[in-house]
Amino acid sequence: MTDQDPPSALTKHDVGWRRIVRNFTPSWFSVTMGTGIVSILLNTLPYNGIWLYWISVVVFALNVILFTVGCLISVLRYTLYPEIFLLMIKHPVQSMFLGTFPMGFATIVNMFCLVCVPAWGNWTRNVAWGMWIFDAIISVVVALSLPFIL
């Protein structure tokens, strides 16, 4: 490219937050899987350090934030660009990461049971049960539909 070449024409979808939203893929939920497992491991280590518990709570909060941001960006992506959903489903690599959503959410459900239920009381058991049912349904739908879609 030389100095005389005109710059390529960028649209509003190629810059700023829209570029981030358009290029967001389900593979980002693997970050929540890893963060969630770290919080679970720190919480269930056989050592009796209270500092490990509080580190696991901080990592759990970070995991919830990451998962929420990922969900919001995904909703924005498929709302603003609905044609991308079918392209993503038929993509040989991106569609393989659909299972990271329920798996990442499963780590949140697990830590919710380990941390929030003992701290907040019995009403959170029903919330945890509802979260688990939702996660199980999404897991079954992804596991049974993905082989037939591809």
The residues, any chain, with a CB within 8 Å of residue 21's CB and separated by 6 or more, are 73, 76, 77, 80, 81
- pTM here? 0.85
Contact by Cβ (8 Å): 61, 68 = no
Please give the DSSP secondary-structure letter assigned to residue 4. T
H helices then E strands: how many in the chain? 7, 0
Cα of first residue to Cα of last residue in the chain, in angstroms, is 40
Residues of the chain with pLDDT under 70: 1-15, 150
DSSP, collapsed to helix, strand or coil, labels residue 92 as coil
pLDDT tens for each residue of 112-141: 999 999 999 899 999 999 999 999 999 999
10 Å Cβ neighbour count for 44? 12
